[in-house]
Amino acid sequence: MSDAPLPILILPDPRLRQKARPVGEGDGDAVRALAPRMLATMYAAPGIGLAAPQVGVGLRLVVLDLGPREKPAPMVLVNPEIVAASAERAVREEGCLSLPGQFAEVERPARVKVRWRELDGTRREMEAEGLLGVCLQHEIDHLDGVLFVDHLSALKRNMLLRKLAKEQRAKARAE
């Protein structure tokens, strides 16, 4: 199987709003084949995180890499879940490969505890804050059909979505 990048779905594709199903016993081969392609897609974009629904696959699978380009540190999270979140909040600018060129300040819990399985089935758990904490929350949201714009006020969300739609129409006309 090739590690060729996959097409990234762009909003308003309805698949971005669907809840992904947990990776089960029979999904092992498909997930092991999908993970390197998702990483290749994320690196090519370029991005720091990607959830399977963003490439049209309805499974609870996330890849991310916050390492420097010259020293990648890829993570593959199977069935990740947030098991605890701090009451303290933090605001950070977010963007999304499924909403190209759109960015906004998003408020989320400052710290989270996340549990997942590795590709080999090993259970893992970590506490994260800062960029890693935001990235984990953002990607796990995708597994539930939630986008970063859903955390904005209706006014900000509508302005951003209108801008995205306008840019996508202009791009389509140019192609």
The per-residue pLDDT for range 77-110, each reduced to its tens digit, is 999 999 999 999 999 999 999 999 999 999 999 9
As a dihedral over the C-alpha atoms of residue 53, residue 58, residue 61, residue 67, rounded to 10 degrees, the angle is -10
Phi, psi of 22 (to 5 degrees): -60, 145
The answer to whether residue 4 is domain-embedded is no
- pTM for this entry: 0.95
Count of the separate structural domains present in the chain: 1
Q: Cα(90)–Cα(109) distance, rounded to whole angstroms? A: 6
The answer to whether residue 8 is domain-embedded is no
The answer to whether residue 32 is domain-embedded is yes
Q: Is 172 exposed, middle or buried (0-12, 13-18, 19+ CB in 10 A)?
A: exposed
User: Smallest Cα–Cα separation from 8: which of 79, 146, 90, 100?
Assistant: 100
The answer to whether residue 5 is domain-embedded is no
The per-residue pLDDT for range 10-66, each reduced to its tens digit, is 999 999 999 999 999 999 999 999 999 999 999 999 999 999 999 999 999 999 999
- Tokens read off for 122: 């090993």
pLDDT at 108 (0 to 100): 98
- Range of 136's domain? 14-174
pLDDT at 2 (0 to 100): 65
pLDDT at 3 (0 to 100): 79
The answer to whether residue 35 is domain-embedded is yes
Q: Which residues contact 143 (CB under 8 A, 6 or more apart)?
A: 19, 20, 51, 52, 53, 60, 62, 80
The answer to whether residue 6 is domain-embedded is no
User: Looking at the annotation, which residues are catalytic?
Assistant: 139
Q: Cα(114)–Cα(81) distance, rounded to whole angstroms? A: 6
Q: What is the CATH number of the domain that holds 94?
A: 3.90.45.10
Give yes or no for a contact between 77 and 148, defined as CB atoms under 8 angstroms apart.
Answer: no
